Structure 1
Amino acid sequence: MWKGFSIFKSQVDVNNRQIKMEDERVAFESAKVTDIYVLQTILKKVYGKSPWSNTIFWIELTKKQNGLYLKVLDRNKTVGFVGVRVEGSDAHITNIAVLPDCQNQGFGKQLLEQAEKFALSKDCLTLSLEVKKSNVQAITLYKKFGFFENGVKPKYYKEDEEDAIDMVYVLEEIK
């Protein structure tokens, strides 16, 4: 799947789909069905519980042709992940999470950068996501990255009926 992914500035090992970054302690790896437990654990540590079932993760992880699930590893430990699904000319971030004790270290930004590169490789025009209105830290990160608020989805999150902020990032060619 990563073959021909020349837009990554890092070394790609096609056999195990690992992307080594300039910082030797950080790597990105394609998530597999066997990673569902790890992804669920991260979501539970970030949000208190996972909004997704194992079945939903399984479906997402097996639809690779129009999506991407990427783990970020710090010293070989999975500390976060991003999920992206291509829907027409939009690449929608379905999930992005970084362990609480690893936040504010640049992992979220790096995951967004990888999502952006993937979206560009699929000829998408936009990158989108929803975020809880109360998640000020994430909203700040997304705005710094270049996302803008596109509207509000009332009572979007079923567990607490919290509103979601719909955010969009207009993609441009990476120079």
Structure 2
Amino acid sequence: MTWDIRAYRGPDDATATFDVFQAAVRQTASSVYGPDQVDAWAGPARTDLSDWDSRRREASTLVAEVDDTVAGFTDLLPDGLVDMLFVHPRSGGRGVARALLTATMRDARARGLTELRTLASRSAQPTFERLGFTVVAHRPDNTIRGLVVPNVEMRRLL
């Protein structure tokens, strides 16, 4: 499988990246979280994606495309937080997350950052570990929309 990594293209990418997020949370993360936790994390289905689009444009968002279809995306905030990393389940296990994180690390180094941090879900933790992130703290009480959805704080020196 080959993919292209490119910058987020504003409103044109909002629906596709939101769909990737929903599929990744509802399908991939459901292997490690219960139905109520998944529903809390995924949140309500949205028809107005203006806030979603604004968040992607404010971050340094990279998008992975496979055959002209958005397969995944990642957000890097100015302080070095990898805020989002999601891959559509149909593209999982094929190196898309690795390609996105590798490009994000290259971008972070170019910005002069010396470390990246993330709050990784249980399903994403192994991916981050394979790319050199280490667990800083377990967050068993992480709460989303009133439900506990445990995750881990991780970091990687650049």
Pairwise same-fold verdict (TM > 0.5): yes
Aligned counterpart, 1:143:
129
Aligned match of 1:40: 18
Q: Which position in structure 1 is the counterpart of 2:78?
A: 86
For residues 62 and 102 of structure 1, do their structure 2 counterparts lie closer, same or farther at Cα, with a shift above 3 Å needed?
A: closer
Q: 1:82 is matched by which residue type in structure 2?
A: T
Amino acid at match of 1:92: L
Distance of 1:101 and 1:168 partners within structure 2: 27
Between structures 1 and 2, the one with greater strand share: 1
CA contact (8 A) 1:146 1:169 kept: yes
2:141 counterpart SS class: strand
1:71 is the counterpart of 2:63: yes
Q: Does structure 1 residue 29 correspond to structure 2 residue 21?
A: no
CA distance in 2, matches of 1:62, 1:112: 18
SS of the residue 1:86 aligns to = coil
Q: Secondary structure at the match of 2:126?
A: helix
TM-score, length of structure 2 as denominator length: 0.79
Tell me the SS of whatever aligns to 2:20: helix
In structure 1, how many angstroms separate the alpha carbons of the residues matched to 2:109 and 2:43? 28
CA distance, structure 2, for counterparts of residue 56 and residue 127 of structure 1: 25
Structure showing the higher helix proportion among its residues = 2
- Asked if 1:101 corresponds to 2:85, the answer is no
- Measured after TM superposition, the shift of residue 58 of structure 1 is 2.7
Between the aligned residues of both structures, percent identity stands at: 12
**CA apart distance, 1:51:** 5.0
Aligned equivalents of 2:100 and 2:156: distance in 1? 14
More RCO (CA 8 Å, sep 6+): 2
CA distance in 1 between partners of 2:56 and 2:21 (Å): 16
CA shift, 1:81, in A, is: 0.6
Contact conserved, 1:131 with 1:139, CA < 8 A, in 2?
yes
| CA deviations over 1:44-81 (Å, ceiling 9, x no partner) | 11112635973442332332xxx311110111111111
Change (3 A) 1:62 1:105: closer
Q: What is the Cα deviation at residue 92 of structure 1?
A: 0.8
1:6 corresponds to: none
| TM score, norm. by length of structure 1 | 0.72
For residues 78 and 94 of structure 1, what CA distance do their matches in structure 2 show?
18
Distance 1:152 1:55, change over 3 A: farther
Instruction: Indicate the RMSD between aligned Cα atoms, in angstroms.
Output: 2.0
